[in-house]
Chains A and B, each alone.
Chain A
Amino acid sequence: MGRPDRIAPGDVPALELRGLGKTFHLRSGGVLRRRSTALHAVRDVDLVLPRNGILGLVGESGSGKSTTGMMALRLLEPTAGRILLEGTDITTLGSAALKPWRQKMQVVFQDSYSALDPMFTLQQVVAEPLRIHGIGTPDERAERALAWLERVGLHRGYGSRYAHELSGGQRQRVAIARALILGPSVLIADEPTSALDVSVKAQIINLLQDLQQDMGLSILFISHDLSVVRSLCDRVAVMFAGRIVEAAETEGIFGAARHPYTRSLLDAIPQLDPRNRRRRQFRSREDLAADIPVLSRAELAGDVAPSDTPRLVPVAPGHLVEARVTADPDTRSGA
């Protein structure tokens, strides 16, 4: 009912972000001497989430990855760029026009405790999407909600319980059921496992993987946990200071990272073998921000004009790195 019935052709990505940006204006000072500083939380982010694929978005806290996810969901209004859901521009749709599209894109948050209304029973939580979209009678909604609780691995006896009675992993299962009950094509998972124990984390990852395959979901998986990203994602984009600095197939990032920030992220993964333990060096944000790779045209996988402003350039098929491009290998200034 009211659902967008336009079936996009197979080559249209599930979700595409084009030049997305968010600038916050911070006001300081008093009434008389008001200063306004612009904070670029996210700048010029291009992302393509293919159908039936999992794209990892990694980066440190404050790198803008969650802000990007919230903008893709239109929970935060972007100040620049476009959001294309199944090829349709939803950037400027009003709330009524957007409502049917919201069935196609859902979200799972990090903090499963605050993600569930403490006054709702779990069956009400899971049935809420159906209620908002006016699908089915109350009895049908309740039955579908209980069926979904079972699908995410919870006994239907939990339907009458409240969120505070569950463990973190169980709550996250409920949040996943709520996100998927409308049958969306895109799921934005904003650090869904970073608040969980290691063993529970593995169960939630397996659940997401199973559901992704069953439903043909496309997942934008936002995380700072590189081991999870490596096991789950097909492709990874690395964000630093509001920009995407490197994007590649998962093995391209983990095997052949080119950007210094990606390398320092990979260095931060704890070593399991004690012989490989060493005193780790952490580079400062300013140091990393200044260290922009310089690549010569010969190193690139495509024909790119030389440019002194850093931008994403291909270094291998499907592997993009933010770099300055010089015409000639000899002019490299020692990156």
Chain B
Amino acid sequence: MSTDPMTGPAAAPEMLSRPGRRQRGPLWFAWRRFLANRAAVAGGVVLALIALLAVVAPLITPAGPNDQDFLSEALAFPSGAHWFGVDDLGRDFFTRIVHGARVSLTIGFAAAAFSVIIGIPLGAAAGYFGGRTDWIIMRVIEIFSVVPPLLAAMLLGALTGGGFWMIVAIAALFGWVQVCLLVRAQIKAFKEKEFVRAAQALGGGPSYVIRVHLIPNSISPIIIGFVLAIPMAMMLEASLSFLGVGVPPPTPSWGQMINTGLDFMYFYWHLAVFPTIALAVTVLATSLFGDGLRDALDPTMKAQ
């Protein structure tokens, strides 16, 4: 205990003094935490490289993805001319794999975007209003958690005949649950905060409070939900395409290629190995990146 400040003169007021040096924000610390996580950084770099390859695919590949330019060399092993070999229909396999990344990533990001679009309003409503609204939304989520996604997706895929947008829709249908739960938990925690009460005391209605205060403060769980929905959608697409109810041929899809590759596996290993590696590396990189983001943006570590 030091001397009693009550008895001394009041400390010099901080009246109108200019603010000092700007302090680092929570995002800066999140970025530092992310950089300290090597697996996450590696995942992010690999994901960025794959995305770059997907974008510039036509520039770096010798032929179109569906061009049967090398029929005479069908099933050729990897070589200097065909890095990943040639497939059974005479198409350059490297071209197919790179173009498959386009399909995988597009489906992953599109499904994650739709997951977020469905998950945010439902999670916000459940978390903010509670009571009956929360009860109904939670029961819907329970239905989705009880049904095995792959079985339901197979049923829906078989009924609708698959196709690109159908798979995006199916993946979003199962992806929003995670986003919704994350957003709901965050909003439940924040709606009792005093800045929310202050806004209510000022006359801000539910839509104002949710839009202006609660959703911007849920940006971390939203980013996490988005990134974690991507590998799930990519896996779902690959599974459905493997089973023949996903993206129809000739559109290059890794799941489809793995399926074809299985038929030739004992003699032409490259047809099964390369798409499997491509899928595994992409899903792993996205998952590591997402986990790293989640750890870095964890609100309980913000005060560090």
| Residues of A bordering B, CB below 8 Å | 70, 73, 75, 95, 98-99, 102-103, 105-107, 109-111, 114-119, 128-129, 132-133, 150, 153-155, 157-158, 161-162, 164-165, 167, 169-170, 175, 178-179, 182, 197-200, 202-203, 206, 272
| Residues of B bordering A, CB below 8 Å | 4-7, 10-11, 13-19, 22-23, 25-26, 193-195, 197-205, 208, 213, 216-217, 219
Interface contacts (Cβ under 8 Å), in number, total 96
- Is the Cβ of B193 less than 8 Å from the Cβ of A114? yes
- Is the Cβ of B204 less than 8 Å from the Cβ of A132? yes
Expressed in whole angstroms, the Cα–Cα distance for A150 and B16 within the complex equals 7
Q: Across the interface, which residues of A come within 8 angstroms of B219, CB to CB? A: 119
Expressed in whole angstroms, the Cα–Cα distance for A103 and B202 within the complex equals 7
Q: Of all chain A residues, which has the CB nearest B299? A: A118
Expressed in whole angstroms, the Cα–Cα distance for A115 and B202 within the complex equals 13
Q: Across the interface, which residues of A come within 8 angstroms of B197, CB to CB? A: 70, 75, 107, 109
8 residue pairs, one from A and one from B, having the closest CB atoms: A199-B11, A99-B203, A102-B203, A115-B194, A109-B194, A117-B195, A119-B216, A114-B193
- Is the Cβ of B5 less than 8 Å from the Cβ of A153? no
- Is the Cβ of B199 less than 8 Å from the Cβ of A153? no
- Is the Cβ of B194 less than 8 Å from the Cβ of A111? yes
Q: Of all chain A residues, which has the CB nearest B25? A: A162
- Is the Cβ of B26 less than 8 Å from the Cβ of A118? yes
Expressed in whole angstroms, the Cα–Cα distance for A99 and B201 within the complex equals 9
- Is the Cβ of A102 less than 8 Å from the Cβ of B25? no
Expressed in whole angstroms, the Cα–Cα distance for A165 and B21 within the complex equals 10
Contact of A170 among B14, B23, B25, B208 (CB under 8 A): B14
- Is the Cβ of A198 less than 8 Å from the Cβ of B6? yes
Among A114, A150, A158, A200, the one with the most B-chain Cβ atoms within 10 Å of its Cβ is: A114
- Is the Cβ of B203 less than 8 Å from the Cβ of A165? no
Expressed in whole angstroms, the Cα–Cα distance for A199 and B22 within the complex equals 25
Q: Across the interface, which residues of B come within 8 angstroms of A109, CB to CB? A: 194, 197-198
Expressed in whole angstroms, the Cα–Cα distance for A167 and B20 within the complex equals 12
Expressed in whole angstroms, the Cα–Cα distance for A75 and B199 within the complex equals 10
- Is the Cβ of A203 less than 8 Å from the Cβ of B13? yes
A103-B203, A128-B199 provided; 6 other pairs, C-beta below 8 A? Answer: A109-B198, A115-B194, A153-B13, A165-B22, A199-B11, A272-B4
Q: Across the interface, which residues of A come within 8 angstroms of B4, CB to CB? A: 272
- Is the Cβ of A153 less than 8 Å from the Cβ of B16? yes
- Is the Cβ of B205 less than 8 Å from the Cβ of A95? yes
Nearest Cβ distance between residue B220 and chain A, in whole angstroms?
11
Q: Of all chain B residues, which has the CB nearest A117? A: B195
Nearest Cβ distance between residue A67 and chain B, in whole angstroms?
13
Contact of B203 among A118, A119, A132 (CB under 8 A): A132
Contact of A202 among B10, B213, B217 (CB under 8 A): B10
- Is the Cβ of A199 less than 8 Å from the Cβ of B198? no
- Is the Cβ of B208 less than 8 Å from the Cβ of A132? yes
Contact status of A114 and B195, CB under 8 A, knowing A132-B202, A158-B19, A161-B19: yes
Expressed in whole angstroms, the Cα–Cα distance for A12 and B114 within the complex equals 56
Nearest Cβ distance between residue B53 and chain A, in whole angstroms?
36
- Is the Cβ of B204 less than 8 Å from the Cβ of A178? no
Q: Of all chain B residues, which has the CB nearest A73? A: B201
Expressed in whole angstroms, the Cα–Cα distance for A107 and B194 within the complex equals 10
